[in-house]
Amino acid sequence: MSDTFPRLLGDVGGTNARFGWQASETSGVQHVQVLPCADFPSLEVAIQTYLKQQNLPAPRACALGIANPITGDRVRMTNHHWTFSISEMARNLGVSKLNVINDFTALALAIPSISQDQLVQVGGKDALHLGPKAIMGAGTGLGVSGLFPVKTGSDQWVAIAGEGGHATLAAQTETEYRVIEIIRQRYGHVSAERVLSGQGLVDLYLALRQLQQHGPIEVTNAADITHWALKNKDPLALQSLEMFSGFLGSVAGDLALTLGALGGVYLGGGVVPRWLGWFESSVFRERFEAKGRFREYLQNIPVYVINATESPALWGASRSLN
């Protein structure tokens, strides 16, 4: 394993690419830098820029968590225009090993090493230490993964790669049904990601404006809606956050049931941590548990919001090289 150091690590989303450097097996992740994806024509150029700006040598190995399904050598990002060949990039970077995995698979691999002070619990009881764990998070898209012990009682873990964010979103109220119909007119299929993402919050807000027959308005990002809701107490913006939290609770509850996530549900991504204080008292937990005969089962499962200062996915990417 020592022949894979130093390592270049990456957490690549649809908006930003975060890079880090691990010099040895005993060292932490250093030289962390975030680069906007839109500033670079390709991922390889972004990597070379990072290495140059940080004055780093050529790495021996590289591991990248990327917001995309990995189904072969050719990668085409879902929420960005970058496309590349894994084998060709490995040759161009001169690395002996290049691992490219889904970004939420990388986050899942990092979960066992995240300290309690980087987690904010939202309801539930104690997690089953070696129980299955569900991981999801809203950012540019909606990432979903799971983490399972290799065998019963084992402290070794395996992460699953999936695209659960693209499963069909279900309404639980009449208003939600009407909002989904408006969004369906624009996109056709309304997946969970169409609502539970930065752009999804914008689309929720615009759909609610249309339902309430407000005039058109220019809204370009979720940060505007969050500001109007939390700072200006705008009723429509607050309703948008509440609906977002309700949908997130329903989808998270479905994932917990599907995976039997007695080890807890972990929420990553960049959206929720920005309004964490408000989120803790939102409708999220009620909707998470609202699964009929399995309410009591879900009441025991804790949900944790990952509120880390550094990207845990960089650690997870590194673990994929071990």
Of 21, 122, 112, 2, nearest to 62 by C-alpha is 21
CA distances from 311 to 22, 189, 290, 314 (A): 13, 31, 32, 6
pTM across the whole model:
0.95
Query: pLDDT truncated to tens, each residue of the chain (322 aa)?
Result: 668 999 999 999 989 999 999 999 999 999 999 999 999 999 999 999 999 999 999 999 999 999 999 999 999 998 899 999 999 999 999 999 999 999 999 999 999 999 999 999 999 999 998 999 999 999 999 999 999 999 877 789 999 989 999 999 999 999 999 999 999 999 999 999 999 999 999 999 999 999 998 877 788 899 999 999 999 999 999 999 999 999 999 999 999 999 999 999 999 999 999 999 999 999 999 999 999 999 999 999 999 999 998 889 999 999 999 8
Cβ within 8 Å of residue 296, ≥6 positions away? none
Residue 127 gets which letter from DSSP? Answer: P
**Domains of the chain: residue spans and CATH:** 2-108+311-319 (3.30.420.40), 123-301 (3.40.367.20)
Answer whether 59's CB lies under 8 Å from 8's CB: yes
- What end-to-end distance do the CA atoms of the chain give, in Å? 6
For residue 6, cis peptide bond before it (omega within 30 degrees of 0): yes
Q: Where are the beta strands (DSSP E) in the chain?
A: 7-12, 16-22, 30-36, 61-66, 74-76, 83-85, 97-102, 119-121, 133-138, 142-149, 157-161, 265-268, 303-306
**What is d(CA 153, CA 131) in angstroms, rounded to the nearest whole number?**
9
Beta bridge partners of 11: 18, 65
For residue 228, CA distances in Å to 128, 219, 243, 248, 284 come to: 39, 11, 15, 20, 20
